[in-house]
A and B are shown apart, each in its own frame.
Chain A
Amino acid sequence: MEIADSRVKVKRLSDTKKSLLFLIPSLILLLIFFIGPMVLTFIFSFTNLALTGAAAKHTEFVGFENFTRMFEDPEFRTSVWNTIVFVFFSAILGQCLLGFLIAFMMKEKNVTFRRIVGLIIIAAWVTPEVVVGFCWVAFLSDNGTANWLIGLLGFKPVAWLFSFPMVSVIIANVWRGTAFSMMVFQSALDEIPKEVEEAAHMDGATRWRIVTSITIPMVKGTIATNLMLVTLSTLGVFTLIYTMTGGGPGVETTTLPIFMFKQAFVSYQLGYGTAISLVLLAIGAIASLIYMKILKTKV
């Protein structure tokens, strides 16, 4: 036994170096397709890289030209604003708050009822993004279900995608993403011991008081992590907006990813496009660092 034990130890030691080989496939893939492009983003954003025109033949470093151009570009400013509006309303107010409210209301309800409601909301989440786009284009079209519904309430039909394009994409994104927050909050709320709330109730605390000073503080960590995760994933939303409005009408729903796409792949200004992605990446990196900080304090 003793010999076997020491043999195992020797094996573990000698294999430590060898087992670094296990990391090589990941490292190669990550270097070529993840870290490499990120470094390139940084480099390209200081060049006049383009697919067509004179710049296509002679790519040069242009210093901060892309960035000065960007900050003077009204379309860039609009898309930053649109991104903020989109993320705030669809991720923070929409998905997180609605997800929390649904999870909260579902607590201690009939199991079958919970299952059916949960299934419907999750079905929206499982549906592929492109399909979500179509469903909502049809739903919000002039003769669509939305206008039929508000017609029942006595309102005149609305050209949703033209008159309220931002509202439309926000609603669609809330529809698609709420399930995630709901599931996260459901498991967090289920972990709160029943006794804690009951004890507070016995002490005469009002319902509102229990929610604000017991329930919410107890899931504070979950709220923070979920908020960051949802913000990060909403920041990169491209497909949903692209299929629904294409960033239009005009630039009304052009968020940073759409703006980046237009500059890089429609106008073929790759240098300018990468400068925009660098901004997007920087916002993402900051949000990601905050998220990691929250995780650390939580664990």
Chain B
Amino acid sequence: MGQKSRKIETMIHYLILAVLALLFLLPLLWMLFASVDPHAKQALKVPDSVTLNNFKAIITDPKLIRSFWIGLLISACQAVLVVIVCVLAAYPLSRYKMKYRKSFMTTILFMTSLPMTAVIVPVYQLFLHLKFQDSLVAVTLFLTASSLPYAIWMVKNFMDSVPLDLEESAWVDGATVLQGVRKIVAPLMLPGIFTVGIFTFTGSWGNFFVPYILLQTPEKMPASVTIFQFFGSYGMVNYGKLAAFSIIYSMPVVLLYALSQRFMSKGFSMGGASKG
């Protein structure tokens, strides 16, 4: 009896999961099919003929290509800045007994979960005031600051698991603190650093809200904003091109996600390094 009901339960689970997976797949499948369909419509349909013209139209449009480069520039600069700044900040937080360390970390944790959407109005006002408006540099810095709390939190925890004795032996050999961080600590926590970097890049690449509000000049807009504008002006008419644009735009984050899985699966076997 128990065996049998267990088997039925397993079957039901498989069935429900299969249906759910199919439902989750449909919107994505539509995008894939529409992108190669010369006559793409709103409904999911296997294309009668396959074309790459939709993709060609997107990658030959200099305006769109430009927005891809700008998006890449913002996201890459932000990711690199976040990594450098948060590794620096995590170091004393992880290594030294400071008076305010605990309250600092609590504040950081508190900040990680605040909805950043909420501060955009005063940030906009601040940008107006400081003449930062429409500045790609300022937007990148703002985005960097907004991802710092979680980055510091994560990197500090990664760093806690890097043993101190390795660093100490480097000091004995005459290395400065900064050299110790660069040559010993950072390489040992590379998986953690890459995780934070990839996470930051992905978030930034998909961020539509911040550039949409803080930038004005159409030529300065990153891909997340141009794809929205493209949707507004052609989307309802040309579904094929929109789908192709969406796929090209999603590619970097999909690839990075796959890459990050590599890092994750390698695990963090840092404890062993000091014994070896």
B142 contact from A33, A44, A124, A148, Cβ within 8 A: A33
Bound CA–CA A34/B49 (angstroms): 52
Bound CA–CA A131/B242 (angstroms): 9
Task: Of the listed stretches A21-29, A70-78, A191-199, A214-222, name the one at the interface; the rest are far from the partner chain.
Answer: A21-29
Q: Is A257 in contact with chain B by the CB < 8 A criterion?
A: yes
Give the residues in chain A near B158, CB-CB below 8 Å.
none
Q: Is B263 in contact with chain A by the CB < 8 A criterion?
A: no
Bound CA–CA A175/B122 (angstroms): 32
Q: Is A49 in contact with chain B by the CB < 8 A criterion?
A: yes
A292, B110: Cβ atoms under 8 Å?
yes
With A4-B172, A131-B246: A175-B24 Cβ-Cβ less than 8 Å: yes
A41, B122: Cβ atoms under 8 Å?
yes
With A4-B172, A265-B213: A19-B92 Cβ-Cβ less than 8 Å: yes
Give the residues in chain A near B7, CB-CB below 8 Å.
none
Give the residues in chain A near B249, CB-CB below 8 Å.
128, 130-131
Task: Of the listed stretches B59-67, B186-194, B224-232, B268-276, name the one at the interface; the rest are far from the partner chain.
Answer: B224-232
B177, A36: Cβ atoms under 8 Å?
no
Bound CA–CA A292/B218 (angstroms): 41
Bound CA–CA A3/B144 (angstroms): 43
**Interfacial residues of chain A within 116-146, with CB under 8 A of chain B in the complex:** 116-117, 120-124, 126-131, 134-139, 141-145
A40 contact from B27, B115, B126, Cβ within 8 A: B126
Give the residues in chain A near B121, CB-CB below 8 Å.
41, 44, 260, 264, 270, 273-274, 277
Q: Is A81 in contact with chain B by the CB < 8 A criterion?
A: no
Give A257-287 as 1s and 0s: 1 = Cβ < 8 Å from B's Cβ atoms: 1001100110000100110011011001101
Give the residues in chain B near A270, CB-CB below 8 Å.
121, 124-125
| Shortest Cβ distance from B255 into A: residue | A126
A138, B42: Cβ atoms under 8 Å?
yes
B118, A260: Cβ atoms under 8 Å?
yes
**Interfacial residues of chain B within 161-219, with CB under 8 A of chain A in the complex:** 168, 171-172, 177, 202, 205-206, 208-209, 213
Return 11 A-B CB contacts under 8 Å, by A number: A16-B96, A19-B91, A26-B89, A106-B17, A109-B13, A128-B224, A131-B246, A148-B44, A232-B113, A233-B115, A295-B109
